[in-house]
Structure 1
């Protein structure tokens, strides 16, 4: 038998999945853009719409599989599924769905709104820079500064810069980091 937190997660997931199902407003786009403005609806728009609509259906199915509660043979909740409110890839999938819906609705009035779809790879690049690339560059530069050798050591000593000299606080923090995380009990 599931506890109350599992039941709460299952209830919240059901509400979220219902809201997503209601959000698929393809009929609006089809009725307005294709029927009323057939002369401006070309192959590129049809292809873009098909690809992005397929992407949202795929992401919705993935979210649905992850967030769907599972019940045992007695009808009791055995697994609430993944919490759809947690951060991470699930939230990115929601963001892609919402951006796609926004582009579909606004592009019914102005075709140039498809350019807004570039916000997704731009955000992914920004996140990749801050979460992966920048820290790796920082480690490489920190490794060179921590263990200077060859011409770099002579240049640092000759210039008398403060980069080669560590403060006592910095040394203490590095020693603490070498020990690893410590658990504190009250």
Structure 2
């Protein structure tokens, strides 16, 4: 079957996008929070809800645009779109949508659940630390490994600063030339 992997990706993307469309449960929040608890629904909650709902709609439209298959003039699959199950920014967009849904549903019962949104910037900070900041500190010599290596090089002692590859190469050189038999 031609393009079977592309067809499989297109089918999985369609299922994922359908599940996202079914997940938009804003009507529950609006009905319960506004109708039954009108006296506790203030301007802050309205602004927070509208902002986060807008963010969710924006992320959904981006995911939808990336995951839509494209067909040629003959009706054949030309491009399945981006695989929505791969890791990366698409998965972070899914995570933000899921956190938003959780906050919308739970804040209908307890308005302090809006604090759950702090998990998003906390996770982004943690990822930034491990992927960008920490490696840059290690390369500039400010980390512990960089300080030890620079201290060993400065004192003239290169014994502790040798890499494993360098040690292997030196051992091979000590053994002499390799003899090959046919």
In 2, distance between residues paired with 1:17 and 1:52? 19
> Does the residue aligned with 1:109 lie in a helix, a strand or coil?
coil
The counterpart of 1:166, out of the listed 136, 157, 161, is 161
- Given that 1:103 and 1:113 are in contact with CA atoms closer than 8 Å, whether structure 2 keeps it comes out as yes
Q: For 1:22-41, list aligned pairs within 5 A.
A: 22-41=22-41
In 1, distance between residues paired with 2:82 and 2:123? 25
Distance 1:167 1:41, change over 3 A: same
In 2, distance between residues paired with 1:2 and 1:29? 46
How many equivalent pairs are there? 167
Q: Which residue of 2 aligns with 1:130?
A: 130
- Given that 1:67 and 1:82 are in contact with CA atoms closer than 8 Å, whether structure 2 keeps it comes out as yes
Q: Which residue of 1 aligns with 2:5?
A: 5
- Given that 1:145 and 1:163 are in contact with CA atoms closer than 8 Å, whether structure 2 keeps it comes out as no
Q: Deviations over 1:139-183 (max 9, x none)?
A: 11255554559xx93xx57xxxx997335637448x9xxxxxxxx
Q: For 1:84-95, list aligned pairs within 5 A.
A: 84-95=84-95
In 1, distance between residues paired with 2:113 and 2:106? 6
In 2, distance between residues paired with 1:2 and 1:81? 17
Higher RCO, 1 or 2 (CA under 8 Å, sep at least 6)? 1
Q: Which residue of 1 aligns with 2:180?
A: none
Q: Which residue of 1 aligns with 2:109?
A: 109
TM-score using structure 2 length: 0.83
In 1, distance between residues paired with 2:78 and 2:95? 29
Structure index of larger Rg? 2
- Given that 2:9 and 2:83 are in contact with CA atoms closer than 8 Å, whether structure 1 keeps it comes out as yes
Distance 1:51 1:168, change over 3 A: closer
- Given that 1:2 and 1:79 are in contact with CA atoms closer than 8 Å, whether structure 2 keeps it comes out as no
TM-score using structure 1 length: 0.81
- Given that 2:149 and 2:161 are in contact with CA atoms closer than 8 Å, whether structure 1 keeps it comes out as no
Distance 1:41 1:71, change over 3 A: same
Tell me, which stretches of 5 or more residues in structure 2 are unaligned?
Answer: 171-182
Q: Which residue of 2 aligns with 1:49?
A: 49
In 2, distance between residues paired with 1:21 and 1:172? 58
In 1, distance between residues paired with 2:136 and 2:163? 25
- Given that 1:145 and 1:164 are in contact with CA atoms closer than 8 Å, whether structure 2 keeps it comes out as no
Query: Where has structure 1 moved over 6 Å in runs of 4 or more?
Result: none
Tell me, which stretches of 5 or more residues in structure 1 are unaligned?
Answer: 176-186
